[in-house]
Structure 1
Amino acid sequence: MASSTVSKLALWIIVLGSTITSGCGEAPKPQQAMLPSVIVNVAHQKDIIPKTEIVGRTRASEDVVIKSQIQGQLLKRSFVEGDDVTAGDLLFEIDPAAFKAELAQQKAVLKQAVASRDVAVMNWERGRRLLPDGMISAQDMDELTSRKLTTAAGVVQAEAAVQAAELQLSYTKVYAPISGRISNAKVSTGDIITPQSEMASLVQLQPMWVSFQVPEKGLITAQQNFSKAEQREVKISDIVMRLRLPNGTMFDEVGFIDFVGNRVDAATGTLPVRATFKNDDKLMLPGLFVTLIIESPIKETALLIPQAAVQEDQQGRFVMVLNQQDEVQKRVVELGERFGVEWRVLNGLEDGERIVVEGLQKIRPGIKVNPVEQEVIPFKEDETK
């Protein structure tokens, strides 16, 4: 019992002693609040190849509507709808009976005209021999000459009629004017075809055109850049044109600009431009909406920042910048095109300034933070392709 009492007494003395010691010492200072940690990156200058993305539409380099030039009954269709045909292939046959008859008639008229001319020539030759001896009058000779000239003109007219009949007969067979892919037939066997009746359409798929519109603002910038390029002996053919297909994949071939319009459309404020792409596999068809990626032939130095640092509000896009005292400042920025995971800064930042890329939800303008440098991942050109 005595031992237990001593142990309790000793415990109370220890507790009391620690309390007295704490009471006698200085009051503990309040702990300073920990600064929020954020990941920061540095706005940096880098050589880039400017790129622009524009939506365009594919067009056949040749688009022909097959029409009849005569009237007649359709006898035959000689192609498989939707198939590829070669220039000169027979497509349609129209009943030639009426046109053969017309040709035979015109040939008969030609023979009559030739016979009349030959008689007139013989009479003129006879008169020419008799005129010096006074056997015929000058008036009779004039009539013989007139007859000769008239019949000669009749032969020429009959020959032209024969050629016209042959041409009409040739129209009974309709051939492919170009190589390409044929559409479905617009007419059926047995139909009575009239002149200018649309029978089918034919599109050339190799090469393929891509038409797009350049806004007037971008046009001026492009012209200014191209003027600089000319000073460096860079041609418009040096501009690299790449193509993103509707499913998001990149087209294998690289294109080039082959046409630039000569006036800006007043209604839309755009200039029509056309690019040409090889389409050997005939993967692209006319009418597709595609994305053109246009690469400048000139390298430029640009200020780049990570996309993760960019936020947006009613004032526009902005980033959080740290000053030398690690205090947060809001900075409105003007941005250009993207390069991989980075964004080009046109206005609002200077080279070397620190910006917050992670931890944005923990900060606000004016507070102090604990910055941690972000590990930089090298930018790869093919990230945009």
Structure 2
Amino acid sequence: MADSTVSKFKLWVFAVSAAAVSACGDAPAPQQAMLPSVIVNTAHTEEITPKTEIVGRTRASEDVVIKSQIQGQLLQRSFIEGDDVTAGDLLFEIDPATYKAELAQQHAVLKQAVASRDVAVMNWERGRRLLPDGMISAQDMDELTSRKLTTAAGVVQAEAAVQAAELQLSYTKVYAPISGRISHSKVSTGDIITPQSEMANLVQLQPMWVNFQVPEKGLITAQQNFSKAEQREVKITDIVMRLRLPNGTMFDEIGHIDFVGNRVDAATGTLPVRATFKNDDKLMLPGLFVTLVIESPITESALLIPQAAVQEDQQGRFVMVLNEQDEVQKRIVKLGDRFGVEWRVLGGLKDGERIVVEGLQKIRPGIKVNPVEQEVVPFKEDEQS
């Protein structure tokens, strides 16, 4: 009986052990770690119009300093300070009394000179008739001729003096030489004005000039690009100039280059260039700092990537690239200008390569990832910064 009980116990232990072994064999294997998901984009080639931004300063197309050319007491000012005036408008009037008296005196001198000339001419005519009969000597005739010529010169001199007096009298009224906006008056009624006294300033606001400087490096690049443009019959006047005002808004008018300097400044290494803009509304004033957005006259192909994909460390700017096995590689890149939300790639990438744009904090070089394609938004020219 005891042996039978022991045998049953052994069979039960064996069955339990077998069940346990069977249960261990059916247990699921540990799952592998999930791959990090990242958003990827593809480096793509687009046709772009290269643009450059340069800071410039506005300048009036005409800037005139109004000065007196005579001395006298200022009688009146005939304009409203800060107002727009038209060429020929009366601005100032200086007391003309002294200059009227001088003119009257010169007229009297002229009359005297004319009378002397007329007498000399009559005497010369009389002597010319008497000379053949020997009634006057040749020497006397020479004196009559000299007198005639001298008095004739005296008339010319007196006429010139009259003209000079008239000119001086005209200077008592100061007129606007150009149309433009007048400054505040720098003299007051009753002041004694002296020659070359600065009385006011007048600026022409239409058109408006914008002066800027092109660095040496940019100049060579621009010349090379323009040489390509010349092969396509493109002129420098075809370069489109847009203007960003100090408040960040874009100016409505489009400008064009109308002057390029003939030498590079040795001190600054820059070339002076000027653009002209219509300013019908007179929104721009001289002296403003503005940003010129210069568009190239030709289009070209460029490799573009999203700005979100670009990182930077001590080695420079880099992106995370995925190979065919979806493994992450760090790639140093050389970047050019920005176009909207994209960078132009000058080196380090090829068209069609995949780059990580989101999830960069979860990856490192060498690991494998689960890539999710991002929809590519076509670049628009008006998005360039």
Q: Which residue of 1 aligns with 2:10?
A: none
Q: Which amino acid aligns with 1:191?
A: D
Q: Residue type matched to 1:134 in 2?
A: G
Instruction: Summarize the alignment of residues 121-132 of structure 1 with structure 2, pairs less than 5 Å apart.
Output: 121-132=121-132
Counterpart position of 1:163? 163
Partner of 1:147: 147
Name the counterpart of 2:232: 232
The one-letter amino acid paired with 1:182 is I
- Indicate the larger mover: 74-83 or 317-326: 317-326
Give matches, 1:184-223, under 5 Å.
Answer: 184-223=184-223
- SS of residue paired to 2:110: helix
1:119-144, CA deviations, whole angstroms, 9 ceiling, x for partnerless residues?
11111111111111111111111111
TM-score if structure 2 supplies the norm length? 0.93
Q: Structure 2: state its 5+ residue gaps.
A: 1-15
Q: Displacement, 1:361? A: 1.3
SS in structure 2 of the partner of residue 118 of structure 1: helix
Aligned to 2:369: 369
Counterpart of 1:13 in structure 2 is: none
Amino acid at match of 2:182: I
How far off its partner does 1:378 sit?
Answer: 2.4
Task: Say whether residues 1:76 and 2:60 are aligned partners.
Answer: no
Segment drifting more, 342-351 vs 317-326: 317-326
Conserved? CA contact 2:92–2:175, under 8 Å: yes
1:22–1:265 CA distance, 2 compared to 1 (3 A): farther
For residue 20 of structure 1, report the CA deviation from its aligned partner: 3.0
What amino acid is the match of 1:369?
Answer: V
Equivalences for residues 36-75 of structure 1 within 5 A: 36-75=36-75
Structure 1 residue runs without a partner (length 5+): 1-15
Could you tell me which amino acid in structure 2 is paired with residue 102 of structure 1? E
* Alignment correspondent of 1:4: none
- Give the secondary-structure state (helix, strand or coil) at the position aligned to 2:66: strand
Q: Provide, for residues 275-329 of structure 1, a one-character-per-residue CA deviation record: whole Å limited to 9, x for no partner.
A: 1111111111111111111111111000000011111222221111111222211
2:209 partner letter: W
Counterpart of 2:43, as a letter, is A
2-structure distance, mates of 1:225, 1:246: 29
Tell me the residue number matched to 1:251: 251
Q: Match for residue 352 of structure 1?
A: 352
1:194 corresponds to which letter in structure 2? Answer: T
In 2: Cα distance, 1:304 partner to 1:378 partner: 10
The TM-score with structure 1 as length reference comes to 0.93
* RMSD over aligned Cα atoms: 1.7
Q: Identical aligned pairs, as a percentage?
A: 90
How many residue pairs get aligned? The number is 370
Aligned residue for 2:211, secondary structure, equals: strand
Alignment of 1:323-334 (within 5 A): 323-334=323-334
Give how far 1:382 is off.
2.1
Give the AA of the match of 1:109: V
Measured after TM superposition, the shift of residue 330 of structure 1 is 1.4
